[in-house]
């Protein structure tokens, strides 16, 4: 499987379906569409921000799933964020699309960036009848960020550098939550996110606790865990080990508040989850633990990130929910001591370099 993954990654990317902008004057109204999980949505945002900075006279609107609209609405980027109900069911999404379509058509977009490329997004793109458009590459085993850049550039806009930054409309968002939890601004805030969706994506929670204790011996810090209520058992384990040094925000934050908390962190140690994507796209030093995840698609980008993945193993990126060998050795091979040294080195490197996505 490892050899096959290398072969797949070396395949040339297929040509994109696109009609590039060809007028001398720049476009004034752009629509971008992305309707996947929250992490996939967040990945698109720095690239669309770079496009907006490149075309300051243009407004950009965004279409996503109803569940994922909060973060795009919370950052300073879009004029309108339209959302579709229906969860992940394409048939139901198409029904809700019929409600959104009249608004999109009435706005008369110059450009539509289909960063989803499924039946629903293609329906929206065609109905908008824009002069220029492009579609997302759903096949190549390359990073989603790189494929987002390709899609934008296929529409005729060669992006400049892309900064890892998601400026919030409300800079103090999440501040009250942190203060009530006992946050001390004079200490580094390190976020621990043992939130991988399956056992094959989980680093042992005891190692997070050991990592935090070792970090505390080197640098005064507080640690935070936040996310869905499913993390409560892990949060209890960490609280028992770390005591008052852990800020337990599990189940207390909205997605935009979680983004705001992440942006105050000095470091994020995370499994493959939405919070990890919030961190690296915000320019926060991020050490990602990927386990069975397909790192070629989802690994964080930029010199401010590091991804420990299974790409060197025969069972590389197996995407199985449970480890076929019973030990998740793609992750358990890393001790807390090893991860600490990598994290310390990463934060030192990130402090010397701008947070940019190549």
**pLDDT digits 0-9 by tens, 92-134:** 999 999 999 999 999 999 999 999 999 999 999 999 999 999 9
DSSP secondary structure letter of residue 20: -
Which residues, 6 or more positions from 172, have their beta carbon under 8 angstroms from its beta carbon?
A: none
Second-level CATH architecture of 11-163: 3-Layer(aba) Sandwich (3.40)
- What is the rounded CA–CA span in Å between residue 343 and residue 349? 10
Strands 188-193 and 162-163: unpaired
* Spatial CA neighbour of 208 closest among 307, 332, 324: 332
Helix (H, G, I), strand (E, B) or coil at 78: coil
Strands 132-135 and 18-19: antiparallel
- In the CATH hierarchy, which top-level class contains the domain 175-357? alpha beta
User: From residue 191, how far is each of 45, 272, 302 by CA, in Å?
Assistant: 22, 14, 19
User: From residue 276, how far is each of 17, 151, 197, 226, 301 by CA, in Å?
Assistant: 30, 23, 13, 12, 11
* Spatial CA neighbour of 34 closest among 73, 77, 63: 63
User: From residue 53, how far is each of 27, 59, 119, 143, 202 by CA, in Å?
Assistant: 13, 10, 30, 23, 38
What pLDDT tens digit does each residue of the chain (358 aa) get?
344 444 444 556 677 899 999 999 999 999 999 998 999 999 999 999 999 999 999 999 999 999 999 999 999 999 999 999 999 999 999 999 999 999 999 999 999 999 999 999 999 999 999 999 999 999 998 999 999 999 999 999 999 999 999 999 998 999 999 999 999 999 999 999 999 888 888 999 999 999 999 999 999 999 999 999 999 999 999 999 999 999 999 999 999 999 999 999 999 999 999 999 999 999 999 999 998 888 888 899 999 999 999 888 888 888 888 888 888 888 889 999 999 999 999 999 999 988 888 6
| Domains of the chain, residue spans | 11-163, 175-357
Evaluate whether 11-163 and 175-357 have a shared fold. yes
**Residue 183: how many other CB atoms lie within 10 Å:** 18
**Residue 134: how many other CB atoms lie within 10 Å:** 26
Strands 305-309 and 286-291: parallel
């Amino acid at each position: 499987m490892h050899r096959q993954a290398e072969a797949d990654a070396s395949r040339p990317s297929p040509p994109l379906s696109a009609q590039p902008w060809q007028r001398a004057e720049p476009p004034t109204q752009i629509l971008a569409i992305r309707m996947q999980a929250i992490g996939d949505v967040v990945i698109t945002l720095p690239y669309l921000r770079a496009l907006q900075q490149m075309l300051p006279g243009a407004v950009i609107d965004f279409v996503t799933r109803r569940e994922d609209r909060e973060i795009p609405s919370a950052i300073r980027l879009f004029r309108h964020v339209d959302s579709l109900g229906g969860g992940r069911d394409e048939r139901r999404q198409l029904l809700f699309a019929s409600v959104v379509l009249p608004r999109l058509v009435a706005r008369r977009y110059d450009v539509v960036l289909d960063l989803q490329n499924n039946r629903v997004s293609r329906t929206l793109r065609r109905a908008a009848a824009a002069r220029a458009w492009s579609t997302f590459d759903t096949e190549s085993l390359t990073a989603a960020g790189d494929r987002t850049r390709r899609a934008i550039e296929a529409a005729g806009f060669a992006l400049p550098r892309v900064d890892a930054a998601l400026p919030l409309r409300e800079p103090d968002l999440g501040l009250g939550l942190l203060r009530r939890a006992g946050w001390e601004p004079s200490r580094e805030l390190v976020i621990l996110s043992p939130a991988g969706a399956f056992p094959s994506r989980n680093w042992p929670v005891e190692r997070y606790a050991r990592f935090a204790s070792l970090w505390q011996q080197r640098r005064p810090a507080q640690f935070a865990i936040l996310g869905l209520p499913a993390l409560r058992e892990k949060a209890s384990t960490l609280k028992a080990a770390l005591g008052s040094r852990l800020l337990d925000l599990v189940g207390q934050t909205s997605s935009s508040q979680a983004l705001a908390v992440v942006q105050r962190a000095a470091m994020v140690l995370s499994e493959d989850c939405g919070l990890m994507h919030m961190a690296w796209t915000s320019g926060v030093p991020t050490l990602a633990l990927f386990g069975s995840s397909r790192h070629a698609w989802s690994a964080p980008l930029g010199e401010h990130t590091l991804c420990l993945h299974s790409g060197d193993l025969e069972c590389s990126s197996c995407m199985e929910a449970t480890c076929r060998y019973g030990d998740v050795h793609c992750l358990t091979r890393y001790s807390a001591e090893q991860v600490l040294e990598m994290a310390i080195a990463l934060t030192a490197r990130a402090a010397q370099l701008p947070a940019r996505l190549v």
